[in-house]
């Protein structure tokens, strides 16, 4: 019996080994592609932002120390997730020209301003961000507030000078201001601060997460689609994708604050808990939070049905959210 089964077992084993090898090659290949994609797009965005800050430092009308503070925060090693999402959404919706780059990069100015202000002593009171002193620790509180204000204002200045149809640019400004304003990101941060140290119910926790982080990610995806002049159906599908990954991104952020190391995260972990922040793990537990994140990512992938290969990067980014370590 063993004699007879050995060859079968060997076959099964060989098939299994082959299957695993192919699986990991695919995974690896896919990751390699995503890594290349992220690297390439990040380089584009970084290059735009570097030029922007260099020009700012050269301009007589912008005080040197203000430009320094803005540049310090903007080039602190951000992953450029939001601009890359805008570019990937733009490509998924059929966009081909280069005009998306200034518009996509302007979203990073908004994201960076929000980090500067969120880190302030009156808000989250953080000393470290991406393994470096936060802007107010490096430049003082007043300069940090102003650097944030300047980046926020300049985001709209950049869009107003982009080379694209005025009607599209106005829609982009509408989308970005809505997603980052009192009905979006600022609203989420406001509610988060208000409920710090108090137990939020699930509805309010959902409000905080979909607004504090989700709204700007949703806006990034929509901005890409708008710039590509996407059909209403495509815009809706991409919005659905954006909402799902926006929430998934914040849920995994909450999870990483519990499970990640300081080295991986570039800031002390466990800080949500010590600050009495309302998070998915604190309300749903760690296992349930992981399940929720997984379901959100799966749902986001479903929203991309019908986009074909062009949505490849968006698919990979969604999967990456679950796998990320920082």
Could you say whether residue 216 binds a copy of itself (CB under 8 A)?
Answer: no
Q: Which residues does 276 contact at the CB level (< 8 Å), separation at least 6?
A: 196, 197, 198
Question: CB of residue 194 vs a copy of itself: minimum separation in angstroms?
Answer: 6
Residue 94 Rama label (left phi>0; alpha psi -120 to 50; beta): left
Instruction: Number of residues interacting with a copy of itself: please give it, by CB under 8 A.
Output: 53
Could you say whether residue 138 binds a copy of itself (CB under 8 A)?
Answer: no
Instruction: Among 11, 43, 50, 65, indicate the residue that binds a copy of itself (CB under 8 A).
Output: 65
Could you say whether residue 40 binds a copy of itself (CB under 8 A)?
Answer: no
Could you say whether residue 126 binds a copy of itself (CB under 8 A)?
Answer: no
Could you say whether residue 53 binds a copy of itself (CB under 8 A)?
Answer: no
Cβ-contact 322, 293 below 8 angstroms = yes
Residue 132 β-bridge partners: 129
The DSSP symbol for 44 reads: H
Q: Which residues does 86 contact at the CB level (< 8 Å), separation at least 6?
A: 100, 103, 104, 107, 220, 221, 223, 224, 227
C-alpha to C-alpha distance for 163 and 221, rounded to whole angstroms: 19
Question: CB of residue 210 vs a copy of itself: minimum separation in angstroms?
Answer: 9
Structure tokens at 40: 């390439």
Could you say whether residue 128 binds a copy of itself (CB under 8 A)?
Answer: no
- Cα separation values, 133 from 128, 234, 269, 274, Å: 5, 42, 15, 20
C-alpha to C-alpha distance for 190 and 204, rounded to whole angstroms: 12
Could you say whether residue 54 binds a copy of itself (CB under 8 A)?
Answer: no
Question: CB of residue 197 vs a copy of itself: minimum separation in angstroms?
Answer: 13
Q: Which is nearer to a copy of itself, 117 or 290 (CB)?
A: 117
Binding mask 154-193 for a copy of itself (x = CB under 8 A): x-xx-xxx----xx-xxx-xx--xx-xxxxx-xx-xxx-x
Could you say whether residue 219 binds a copy of itself (CB under 8 A)?
Answer: no
3-state secondary structure of 128: strand
Instruction: Mark the segment that binds a copy of itself (CB under 8 A) among 91-99, 141-149, 229-237, 240-248.
Output: 141-149
C-alpha to C-alpha distance for 70 and 38, rounded to whole angstroms: 24
Residue 133 β-bridge partners: 128
Instruction: Among 38, 70, 238, 311, indicate the residue that binds a copy of itself (CB under 8 A).
Output: 70
Q: Which is nearer to a copy of itself, 175 or 315 (CB)?
A: 175
Instruction: Among 150, 217, 223, 296, indicate the residue that binds a copy of itself (CB under 8 A).
Output: 150
Q: Let me know how many helices (H) and strands (E) the chain has, helices first.
A: 16, 2
Question: CB of residue 107 vs a copy of itself: minimum separation in angstroms?
Answer: 13
Question: CB of residue 179 vs a copy of itself: minimum separation in angstroms?
Answer: 9
For residue 196, give the nearest of 282, 137, 255, 259 by alpha carbon.
282
Q: Which is nearer to a copy of itself, 92 or 176 (CB)?
A: 176
Q: Which residues does 193 contact at the CB level (< 8 Å), separation at least 6?
A: 123
- Cα separation values, 188 from 114, 116, 278, Å: 11, 16, 12
Question: CB of residue 273 vs a copy of itself: minimum separation in angstroms?
Answer: 20
Q: Which is nearer to a copy of itself, 61 or 287 (CB)?
A: 61
Could you say whether residue 211 binds a copy of itself (CB under 8 A)?
Answer: yes
Around 288, how many Cα atoms within 13 Å sit in the side-chain half-sphere?
Answer: 7
Structure tokens at 242: 């954006």
Q: Which is nearer to a copy of itself, 33 or 167 (CB)?
A: 167
Q: Under the rule (CB under 8 A), what is the footprint of a copy of itself?
A: 56, 59, 61-63, 65-67, 70, 113, 117, 120, 122-123, 140-143, 145-146, 148-150, 152-154, 156-157, 159-161, 166-167, 169-171, 173-174, 177-178, 180-184, 186-187, 189-191, 193-194, 211
């Amino acid at each position: 019996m063993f004699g007879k089964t050995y060859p079968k077992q060997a076959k099964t084993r060989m098939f299994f080994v082959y299957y695993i090898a192919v699986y990991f090659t695919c995974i690896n290949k896919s990751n390699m592609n995503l890594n290349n994609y992220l690297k390439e797009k990040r380089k584009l965005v970084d290059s735009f932002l570097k030029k922007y800050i260099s020009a700012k430092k050269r301009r007589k009308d912008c005080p040197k120390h203000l430009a320094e503070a803005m540049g310090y925060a903007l080039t602190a090693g951000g992953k450029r997730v939001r601009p890359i999402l805008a570019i990937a959404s733009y490509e998924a919706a059929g966009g081909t020209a280069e005009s998306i780059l200034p518009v996509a990069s302007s979203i990073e100015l908004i994201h960076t301003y929000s980090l500067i202000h969120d880190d302030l002593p009156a808000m989250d009171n953080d000393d470290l961000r991406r393994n470096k002193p936060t802007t107010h620790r490096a430049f003082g509180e007043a300069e940090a507030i102003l650097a944030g204000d300047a980046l926020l204002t300049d985001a709209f200045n950049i869009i107003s000078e982009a080379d694209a149809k005025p009607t599209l640019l106005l829609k982009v400004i509408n989308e970005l201001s809505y997603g980052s304003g009192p009905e979006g990101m600022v609203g989420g941060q406001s509610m988060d601060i208000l409920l710090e140290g108090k137990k939020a119910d699930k509805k309010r926790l959902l409000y905080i997460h979909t607004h504090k982080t989700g709204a700007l990610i949703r806006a990034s995806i929509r901005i890409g689609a708008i710039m590509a002049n996407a059909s209403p159906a495509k815009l809706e599908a991409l919005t659905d994708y954006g909402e799902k990954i926006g929430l998934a991104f914040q849920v995994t952020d909450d999870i990483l604050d519990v499970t990640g190391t300081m080295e991986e995260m570039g800031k002390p972990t466990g800080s949500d808990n010590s600050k009495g922040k309302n998070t998915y793990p604190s309300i749903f537990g760690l296992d349930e939070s992981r399940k929720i994140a997984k379901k959100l990512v799966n749902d986001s992938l479903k929203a991309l049905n019908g986009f074909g290969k062009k949505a490849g990067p968006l698919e990979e980014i969604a999967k990456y959210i679950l796998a990320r370590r920082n």
